[in-house]
Chain A
Amino acid sequence: MPTIRFMFKQLGKHFDQFLMGVLMLTMTVALLVLFSASGQSMDRMSAQMVNIIAGLAALWVFANIPPQHLQRIAVPLYLLGMVLLIGVFFFGDVSKGARRWLDLGVARIQPSELMKIAVPMMLAWYFDRRDQSLRFSDYIVAAILLMLPLGLVLKQPDLGTSLLIGASGFYVLFLAGLSWRLMGGLALGAAAAAPFLWNMLHDYQRRRIEILLDPTQDPLGAGYHTIQATIALGSGGLSGKGWLNGTQSQLDFLPERHTDFIFAVFGEEFGLVGNLLLLLLFAIIIGRGMMIAANGQNAFCRLLAGSIALTFFTYAFVNMGMVSGILPVVGVPLPLISYGGTSLVTLMIGFGILMSIQTHKKLVTS
């Protein structure tokens, strides 16, 4: 018995128990919502449980890799990601009008997912090395390191993922001390460049932004998602229609209700109270991530952890914003809750890295 207990203790040695608890709670809620959103499909439930187990395994693996090892693999991982992205650019499979997947013979992978981790790691590695005094040229280099993968993902096209990659890279730059003046200048520049960017967007992306401004333009077409999701949320009221009782969800009025629009199901069935509690859960997860970042051992750890926590925030904000109709519809799932293995595993790797940073501290200092 003691051996088994010891084994468990060893196994969970690099778990951050608080974060782990909140994550497990969130994923339990996720399973409940998924059950409702999938029309009470046990198949979807078991598939998502497999995804969760895979995610937890990935989390465990990364939690057990000491940060200095992560620091060492940052560059090779980034280079590998770049090679794969270029591979996608030339040889990727096209599905639903986008070139996102690469068939390696043994498995089909989505290299842009890898970049969600590899980009912040790479930038954290870069700023950790240059932490004495940052010059303007450092930001130029970092910007190039960020823009290369970002451009390739945008080209696929995958607005949602490139948004998250861009955010994760930007957070590293911001936390590393990107000067306010420069950010102000960039913001101004972006505003000035907006008309040109508008022209560069794909038609469907432009349409999404137009529909955001006025969904009733096309109530049965592009605006349908937003309108039905808003109706679902609004009709949920204060306390919701109750689990499995959402009419918008159960009667198929909500499209993509178990993936990107699962939050509408949640909001319809659990109401304002449920929504605020979910926001609180997310805030706790982000807050814990920020605490870990604040106590990070070195610049690499701090920057990486901070970026992971803030990227998680971006996920949640963009998804909830788009479902509730204040942001355009971009393909960003609700973190930990939307159905799907790929994004869940990536997220869990992020949390694994956070836990590794939190639990390997003493080893480094001693």
Chain B
Amino acid sequence: MNSRFELRNHRQEQHYFRLRLGVAGVVMLICFGILAARFVHLQLLRYDYYHTLAENNRISLVPIAPTRGLIMDRNGVVLAHNFFAYTLEITPAKVKDLEQTINDIATLVEVSPSDRKRFKKLREQSHEFESIPLRMQLSETEAARFAVSRYRFPGVEIRSRLFRHYPQGPLGAHLIGYIGRINDSDQQSLKKSGEFPNYLGSDHIGKSGVEQFYERTLHGITGTQQVETDADGHAVRVLSSTAPVAGDNLVLSIDSKLQDIAEKAFGVRRGALVALDPNTGQVLAYVSMPTFDPNLFVNGIDPDSWKALNESLDKPLINRPLRGIYPPGSTFKPFVALAGLEAGRREPPFSISDPGFYKLAGSSHRYRDWKPGGHGIVDMRKAITVSCDTFFYGLAHELGIERMSDFIGHFSFGKKTGIDLTGELGGLLPTPAWKKKRFKQPWYPGETLIVGIGQGYTLTTPMQLAQATAILANNGIAYRPRLVSGIQPGGSGKLRPVTPEVLDRIKLDPKHVELVKLGMMDVTQPGGTASSVGAGAPYLIAAKTGTAQVVGIKQNEKYNEKNVAERHRDHALFIAYAPAESPKIALAVIVENGGHGGSAAGPIARQVMDYYLLGKEPPAPPPEASPNAAPPAEEETDAHD
């Protein structure tokens, strides 16, 4: 009975157990069902999403920087090129003790104090996870020495990089410009213009000169490599790649020999020279003195060199032809003359008798001529030749400021010439409206007289003066000034010439142009203000001298250059074109604080024209004339102004 009960009990118990087990089994199936549903959700319904995530994990796009285009002069002389070199770079975010690391590196590879300073400066301008160069251009031995100890320096790497180099050094630095590391503001403007993706592999961008203006042409197209990477970011294999397209080469119209002669002709003097081909607008020489070595800037300039350049009184970093603004002085007169002739004034045989001053009706103020006692009987041609102030005072007064400024504006005064460089200034061609806006004052008649001789408010850049001269030489046809004459696409190698662009054809009476030109030709003849410049030249030079006042001279005070501090002396200006009958070169020269245009700026122009037209090089290197020294004795024969 007992066993029966136990058996029954046992069965009941087993039955109950199985019930519970069944419940557990159902729970288990539900749980596995949940898992299965989750798998379906992840692997079927959201497959695309997770597939993309996995692909993003594994595939990274590595940009391959293109080779930057070369810059050459008109004869194929290389002005900017690239070369491979090793750099030692540090990613600050990956380095614990930066100072110590650099000290340790210095035991293997030379690290100069200026390297350290430059690194410090670059670091302030960069993000912590950017790779910043500490040393450039490591020798093979240095690279090898470091490579052996590399394991000791996490976050420090040797890289082979393309470097930009300017083999001519300071020659034409302002026109060639330079590239520099891409900074935050570059990055922002690249993002704005949508070009940023093309710069993912690039560290550098054009910062000035042709390098900046032709950045898009020179840069090329960045290639990409699809690389499979592991979780640590190490590349496992290359999946696919698109080759970069090298940037286009630029051929400049500059003749580097001519450029060199022009720069040397300045010696230690400050100033600018622009030489153009009046028939095409091509720039033949573009000088800003003093100049500097653009190679300093490529990988970040070290603070000492920067300080020296930036704080120099000579301001070598100013791009004088483009951004230096000077009163045109008497070089303005041929254009005032033309304005007068076109307005029907002063046509031959009109002449005046010059007493050496001009007086406005109803005023006792004497507007003096530069030559006390005057020039005697003066007609239009002679007025230009001798630079007669009295003649132009009268003409300016008769024309009035608005008519004069309006006409002269056609010769690119008061507006940009449109040369292929960034940062050009437009100068200033004053009008009563401008004065009212600027000073809230009316225009006084006397101011018109001053403008008529190129002084007063009028300001021009050397670039504008050269362009105006070229337009005049070309009888009113204005070409856009161009530094680049041809573009050689990175791949094909076939040179595409840049066609000259006519900006304007000024309607001028050929008779009037001829008259002004005759006056300018006489300038370099005996009796002209620059007779020494034309002396012995086998071709005819048309020119005009000019002097721009730096410090105002009071009435009745005589300008005495010996008593004036060097930097307060007048600027010497000179414009010219030659050969006068069929001009091939037109130029403008400014020598800052040089004194007289004919004696200080004229000889520089002559050397440039001699080389360009005759292939004649200056006999000996020009004497290292101190800017304080008086002009050479033989040029004393030149008339004042």
Chain A residues with a Cβ under 8 A of chain B = 131-132, 171, 174-175, 177, 228, 230-238, 247-248, 251-253, 267, 271-272, 275-276, 279, 282-283, 286-287, 290, 293-294, 296, 299, 302-303, 306, 310, 313, 317, 320-321, 324-326
Point out the residue from B24, B36, B54 that lies within 8 Å of A175, measured CB to CB: B24
B83 at the interface (CB under 8 A from A): no
- Tell me the smallest distance from the CB of B24 to a CB of chain A, in Å: 6
Q: Assuming the A-B contacts A251-B57, A251-B229, A251-B230, are A234 and B31 also in contact, with contact meaning beta carbons closer than 8 angstroms in the complex?
A: no
Q: Assuming the A-B contacts A272-B40, A279-B35, are A299 and B13 also in contact, with contact meaning beta carbons closer than 8 angstroms in the complex?
A: yes
Point out the residue from A171, A234, A238, A287 that lies within 8 Å of B49, measured CB to CB: A234
B24 contact set on A, CB distance < 8 A: 171, 174-175, 290, 306, 310
* Contact A233 B21, beta carbon cutoff 8 Å: no
* Contact B57 A177, beta carbon cutoff 8 Å: no
B614 contact set on A, CB distance < 8 A: none
Nearest chain A residue, comparing its CB with the CB of B35: A320
* Contact A290 B39, beta carbon cutoff 8 Å: no
B14 contact set on A, CB distance < 8 A: 294, 302
B567 at the interface (CB under 8 A from A): no
- Tell me the smallest distance from the CB of A267 to a CB of chain B, in Å: 7
Q: Assuming the A-B contacts A174-B24, A235-B47, are A324 and B13 also in contact, with contact meaning beta carbons closer than 8 angstroms in the complex?
A: no
* Contact A290 B58, beta carbon cutoff 8 Å: no
Nearest chain B residue, comparing its CB with the CB of A251: B230
- Tell me the smallest distance from the CB of B227 to a CB of chain A, in Å: 11
Nearest chain A residue, comparing its CB with the CB of B52: A235
B53 contact set on A, CB distance < 8 A: 231, 234-235
> Contact string, B221-265, partner A, CB cutoff 8 A, digits 1/0?
000000011111000100000000000000000000000000000
* Contact B58 A247, beta carbon cutoff 8 Å: yes
16 contacts between A and B (CB under 8 A): A131-B13, A171-B24, A174-B20, A177-B20, A231-B50, A237-B43, A238-B44, A247-B54, A248-B58, A253-B58, A294-B14, A299-B13, A303-B17, A306-B24, A313-B31, A324-B35
Q: Assuming the A-B contacts A251-B228, A310-B24, are A234 and B35 also in contact, with contact meaning beta carbons closer than 8 angstroms in the complex?
A: no
Point out the residue from A174, A233, A290, A294 that lies within 8 Å of B50, measured CB to CB: A233
Point out the residue from B18, B36, B47, B49 that lies within 8 Å of A279, measured CB to CB: B36
Complex: A236 Cα to B13 Cα, angstroms:
47
B366 at the interface (CB under 8 A from A): no
8 more CB-based (< 8 A) A-B contacts, given A237-B44, A252-B231, A279-B35:
A230-B50, A238-B47, A251-B228, A272-B43, A286-B28, A293-B17, A324-B39, A326-B38
- Say whether chain B's binding surface is mostly helix, strand, loop, or mixed: helix
Within 8 A of A (CB), among B10-42: 13-14, 16-18, 20-21, 24-25, 28-29, 31-32, 34-36, 38-40, 42
A275 contact set on B, CB distance < 8 A: 36, 39, 43
Chain B residues with a Cβ under 8 A of chain A = 9, 13-14, 16-18, 20-21, 24-25, 28-29, 31-32, 34-36, 38-40, 42-44, 46-47, 49-51, 53-55, 57-58, 228-232, 236
* Contact A310 B28, beta carbon cutoff 8 Å: yes
A293 contact set on B, CB distance < 8 A: 17, 21
Complex: A296 Cα to B17 Cα, angstroms:
10
Nearest chain B residue, comparing its CB with the CB of A232: B54
* Contact A253 B231, beta carbon cutoff 8 Å: yes
* Contact A313 B21, beta carbon cutoff 8 Å: no
A174 contact set on B, CB distance < 8 A: 20, 24
Nearest chain A residue, comparing its CB with the CB of B33: A279
Complex: A116 Cα to B31 Cα, angstroms:
22
Complex: A232 Cα to B54 Cα, angstroms:
7
Q: Assuming the A-B contacts A238-B43, A251-B229, A324-B35, are A290 and B21 also in contact, with contact meaning beta carbons closer than 8 angstroms in the complex?
A: yes
A283 contact set on B, CB distance < 8 A: 28-29, 32
Most buried by B among A231, A234, A310, A321: A234
B42 contact set on A, CB distance < 8 A: 230, 233-234, 324
* Contact B57 A231, beta carbon cutoff 8 Å: yes
Complex: A326 Cα to B35 Cα, angstroms:
9
* Contact A233 B57, beta carbon cutoff 8 Å: no
- Tell me the smallest distance from the CB of A311 to a CB of chain B, in Å: 11
Point out the residue from B16, B32, B36, B43 that lies within 8 Å of A233, measured CB to CB: B43
Point out the residue from A177, A232, A247, A324 that lies within 8 Å of B16, measured CB to CB: A177
Nearest chain A residue, comparing its CB with the CB of B56: A231
* Contact B32 A306, beta carbon cutoff 8 Å: no
A232 contact set on B, CB distance < 8 A: 54
Complex: A177 Cα to B53 Cα, angstroms:
49
* Contact B21 A234, beta carbon cutoff 8 Å: no
Nearest chain B residue, comparing its CB with the CB of A246: B54
Q: Assuming the A-B contacts A232-B54, A234-B50, A276-B36, are A290 and B25 also in contact, with contact meaning beta carbons closer than 8 angstroms in the complex?
A: yes
Complex: A236 Cα to B50 Cα, angstroms:
9
Nearest chain A residue, comparing its CB with the CB of B28: A313
A276 contact set on B, CB distance < 8 A: 36, 39
- Tell me the smallest distance from the CB of B406 to a CB of chain A, in Å: 68
* Contact A234 B20, beta carbon cutoff 8 Å: no
Nearest chain B residue, comparing its CB with the CB of A276: B36
Most buried by A among B17, B31, B228: B17
* Contact B54 A248, beta carbon cutoff 8 Å: yes
- Tell me the smallest distance from the CB of B230 to a CB of chain A, in Å: 4
* Contact A294 B17, beta carbon cutoff 8 Å: yes
* Contact B21 A267, beta carbon cutoff 8 Å: no
Complex: A232 Cα to B53 Cα, angstroms:
9
* Contact A306 B43, beta carbon cutoff 8 Å: no
